[in-house]
Chain A
């Protein structure tokens, strides 16, 4: 008896020492990593207030040099930017809703072992990651669906990502314990009821992650807007901002066009001026999203609720 007690005590001390060392190293390494990541971000912030020449010659390092708000003036004075904000917000919300509505049930069904042919279906989904018809036939189909120049072309075709379906399936497979299904079956709970009343509430973390991922990729995307939209009042923020960043505008012309050097230089200067301010304007909304979703990342929440 006494022997085990001392053994326990010794091991506890040992363990807490090891744990302390672990924590010490852990916090140190994470702090170093944090600083390494942080500095370039800080650099972007101070550069957005600095004279572009000073930035480009390495003169900006700790505080802004040649303080200017010109970059922000240009961006925020542009009415298209504000409309783009509104559009992007709307597209992001709609896209997340559609994406989750398609991928969560689909991923769940594909994770269920009792579904015959699920591997074949999975295979069909995976193939789409590798073989696509390309831009032209996709455009033709979306045009036939009457989606060209409407917001649907931006939010519907991109709603499913095979990659995310796979991740969702893997999560369901590994986090919902088999006993739950068994007991549900015994209780006579239907698949639908089980999915909506058990699986979904228990999968808050993966739903949060998927919401975040789809929201971010929709927020950052400009390509489908570029291809499918004609009316510039429908442009999402990223496409508006791309328009402002015109440094490479001149290279868009045919290689046989001779252009004015002064217009190139002027356009480049303009682009340099707003480059950093642009990132600030474009990414702050999505940066805020993450801490908000973090509360769904509570450890052990899923299992705890199953037992309770």
Chain B
């Protein structure tokens, strides 16, 4: 009897305690922070805590993240230990869906889609972070102040921030990687100039096709132009700029969202591509090969066998014995109506890289811990690999090339999770690196000079990095698959077989039936809301 009473009393009192705690925590968020948590300085907590973090890994790095130099430094002296629960990158999509759907949550969940972040935020799976960023994450706060577009990209439509980003703000990354490379040696051989217009290109490719360019006695084994249809890096999208549009699903012109594949500009671009295909100037493999085969093809043999191709670089992916034949990439060609356009891209960002879940008992400590990754030098190490950076006395950094027993890629990701964890890499830090110089007379999208050269033709048409509402994501899910599939197919068929003019009206009608208008509306609404919010700040 006594026992029972006693338990009743404790139960009651603890209920009251919870009520009180609930009240006070609403007024004063710090009240619930544990006593041994430090708002500044080290350690972050007096008694060691362990956080479970689920994410994916690049196998060249491996799954033992606690042994990486970067994480050793991040953890050092914090009393925060991490229990990494990592999945191979290929299978992360499945695993993260299961983790969320089964509600079997770790303390921190890495690398989610924005749709998952917004939905999870709305459902209470992830906790809002904006107040904690303000209080406990000075590095990240600085970064977000410097780059308001990043803050915008991680702010959900309900005004909360549920995730922290991976962001590479190197400015040269605004330049589009999808560029056209042409064989300068071949041009010399036929005595033609670097093409300046789409017509020039056609003439050059025709000459490439008709003559024995590689000098093996067979005029038929050269490939005038190749690429990977539908691919962002190796696709034919570059030529869309000459027709006053970009090869994206949606672009924004004068605040109006456009579905590119329903426009006249698109139609003209496809007609031009078909005229190339008809003359046998485009490699038929372009529609069936993947990027691996594409790269193998442009780098095969001792002599170049390809006249022109689309890629983000020539020297890094073609064969060492002829890689400089391709020289600098072409600036955008002038189209029939005088258009000469390239994209001003959004910078490299994964908005949903780091979320704190509702089961996390130490959100403040977690925030302070992760902020250490946003410390500028640490962010640079996470991006470039600490083993590749040598700090000089003048505060600048030398890049250390890979030793012979490592491939360049293995070397780069040896001590860092690379793109599977957060960092905030600023242009300022990039400028501190002593970057390798370009070959004389050669440019590459990896160099600032190339970005400067493209600047005059850049249009701010790219749809911004934004978060839609939960409801809007549902709508997008509904329309996306069918519309993408149908337009992908029709575009490929029109390039190969032609007939875009006769089928155009029917095509638009079919798209309407698939709900294209509503699909566009979702994007327009998302864009408008975002613009309004940006103006407010």
B78 CB-CB contact with A under 8 Å: no
A41 CB-CB contact with B under 8 Å: no
State A243–B64 Cα separation when bound (angstroms): 13
B316 CB-CB contact with A under 8 Å: yes
State A136–B97 Cα separation when bound (angstroms): 9
Interface string of B41-66 (1 = CB under 8 A from A): 00000000000000011111011100
Q: Which residues of B contact A258 (CB under 8 A)?
A: 345-350
Q: Which residues of A contact B86 (CB under 8 A)?
A: 232
Which residue in chain A gives the minimum CB-CB distance to B446?
A262
**A136, B349: Cβ atoms closer than 8 Å:** no
List, sorted by A's number, 25 A–B pairs whose CB atoms are closer than 8 Å.
A53-B296, A56-B293, A57-B297, A143-B104, A227-B98, A243-B63, A246-B88, A249-B58, A253-B350, A254-B112, A254-B350, A255-B113, A256-B114, A257-B166, A259-B419, A261-B177, A261-B233, A263-B412, A265-B291, A265-B295, A266-B407, A266-B412, A267-B409, A269-B295, A271-B292
State A262–B115 Cα separation when bound (angstroms): 27
**B87, A226: Cβ atoms closer than 8 Å:** yes
Q: Which residues of A contact B312 (CB under 8 A)?
A: 261-262, 265
Known: A243-B59, A261-B312, A262-B313. A252 touches B90 (CB 8 A): yes
* Interface SS, A side: helix
B394 CB-CB contact with A under 8 Å: no
**Nearest-Cβ distance from residue B119 to partner chain A, whole angstroms:** 13
A301 CB-CB contact with B under 8 Å: no
B335 CB-CB contact with A under 8 Å: no
A248 CB-CB contact with B under 8 Å: yes
State A256–B232 Cα separation when bound (angstroms): 13
Q: Which residues of B contact A267 (CB under 8 A)?
A: 58, 60, 409
A204 CB-CB contact with B under 8 Å: no
Q: Which residues of B contact A268 (CB under 8 A)?
A: 291-292, 295
**Nearest-Cβ distance from residue A284 to partner chain B, whole angstroms:** 21
**B465, A256: Cβ atoms closer than 8 Å:** yes
Known: A53-B300, A254-B112, A256-B465. A270 touches B407 (CB 8 A): yes
State A262–B445 Cα separation when bound (angstroms): 11
- Contacts of A215-268 to chain B: CB distance below 8 A: 222, 226-227, 230, 232, 239, 242-250, 252-268
B366 CB-CB contact with A under 8 Å: no
Option from B90, B98, B408, B412 in Cβ contact (under 8 Å) with A136: B98
**A57, B95: Cβ atoms closer than 8 Å:** no
- Contacts of B218-239 to chain A: CB distance below 8 A: 233
**Nearest-Cβ distance from residue A215 to partner chain B, whole angstroms:** 23
**Nearest-Cβ distance from residue B359 to partner chain A, whole angstroms:** 15
Known: A227-B98, A254-B352. A57 touches B407 (CB 8 A): no
State A262–B345 Cα separation when bound (angstroms): 17
State A257–B92 Cα separation when bound (angstroms): 15
Option from B59, B64, B347 in Cβ contact (under 8 Å) with A246: B59
**Nearest-Cβ distance from residue A188 to partner chain B, whole angstroms:** 54
**B89, A249: Cβ atoms closer than 8 Å:** yes
A59 CB-CB contact with B under 8 Å: yes
**Nearest-Cβ distance from residue B104 to partner chain A, whole angstroms:** 7
**B419, A252: Cβ atoms closer than 8 Å:** no
Option from B90, B301, B352 in Cβ contact (under 8 Å) with A242: B90
B82 CB-CB contact with A under 8 Å: no
Residues of B within 8 A of A (CB): 56-60, 62-64, 85-95, 98, 101-102, 104, 111-116, 166, 168, 177, 233, 291-293, 295-297, 299-301, 312-313, 316-317, 319, 345-352, 407-410, 412, 418-419, 446, 465
Option from A53, A227, A244, A259 in Cβ contact (under 8 Å) with B95: A227
**A256, B296: Cβ atoms closer than 8 Å:** no
Known: A243-B57, A255-B113, A268-B292. A249 touches B90 (CB 8 A): yes
**A254, B57: Cβ atoms closer than 8 Å:** no
Q: Which residues of A contact B446 (CB under 8 A)?
A: 262
Option from B62, B89, B92, B412 in Cβ contact (under 8 Å) with A80: B62
**B93, A230: Cβ atoms closer than 8 Å:** no
A107 CB-CB contact with B under 8 Å: no
A205 CB-CB contact with B under 8 Å: no
Q: Which residues of A contact B412 (CB under 8 A)?
A: 263, 266
Known: A57-B297, A254-B113, A262-B313. A239 touches B350 (CB 8 A): no
Which residue in chain B gives the minimum CB-CB distance to A262?
B316
A71 CB-CB contact with B under 8 Å: no
A139 CB-CB contact with B under 8 Å: yes
Q: Which residues of B contact A257 (CB under 8 A)?
A: 166, 349-351
Q: Which residues of B contact A252 (CB under 8 A)?
A: 56, 89-93, 111
Option from B62, B85, B98, B419 in Cβ contact (under 8 Å) with A253: B419
State A261–B312 Cα separation when bound (angstroms): 7
**A264, B233: Cβ atoms closer than 8 Å:** yes
**Nearest-Cβ distance from residue B427 to partner chain A, whole angstroms:** 16
State A243–B408 Cα separation when bound (angstroms): 19
A18 CB-CB contact with B under 8 Å: no
**A253, B111: Cβ atoms closer than 8 Å:** yes
Q: Which residues of B contact A260 (CB under 8 A)?
A: 168, 348, 419
**A246, B89: Cβ atoms closer than 8 Å:** yes
Q: Which residues of B contact A53 (CB under 8 A)?
A: 295-296, 299-300, 319
State A108–B111 Cα separation when bound (angstroms): 49
**A139, B102: Cβ atoms closer than 8 Å:** yes
Option from B58, B60, B87, B114 in Cβ contact (under 8 Å) with A254: B114
Known: A230-B85, A265-B295, A265-B316. A246 touches B58 (CB 8 A): yes
Interface string of A268-306 (1 = CB under 8 A from B): 111110000000000000000000000000000000000
**Nearest-Cβ distance from residue B443 to partner chain A, whole angstroms:** 16
Known: A254-B111, A268-B291, A271-B292. 10 other contacts (CB 8 A): A136-B98, A230-B85, A232-B63, A246-B58, A249-B56, A253-B419, A263-B409, A265-B295, A269-B409, A270-B60
State A264–B294 Cα separation when bound (angstroms): 13
**Nearest-Cβ distance from residue B88 to partner chain A, whole angstroms:** 3
Q: Which residues of B contact A250 (CB under 8 A)?
A: 89
Which residue in chain B gives the minimum CB-CB distance to A70?
B407
State A253–B165 Cα separation when bound (angstroms): 13
Known: A257-B349, A261-B177, A262-B316. A135 touches B90 (CB 8 A): no
- Contacts of A142-168 to chain B: CB distance below 8 A: 143, 148
Top 8 closest pairs, chain A to chain B, by CB: A56-B296, A243-B88, A249-B89, A254-B113, A266-B409, A261-B312, A257-B350, A57-B300
**Nearest-Cβ distance from residue B297 to partner chain A, whole angstroms:** 6
Which residue in chain B gives the minimum CB-CB distance to A268?
B292
State A247–B88 Cα separation when bound (angstroms): 11
State A57–B298 Cα separation when bound (angstroms): 9
Q: Which residues of B contact A55 (CB under 8 A)?
A: 296
Q: Which residues of A contact B348 (CB under 8 A)?
A: 258-260
State A242–B95 Cα separation when bound (angstroms): 14
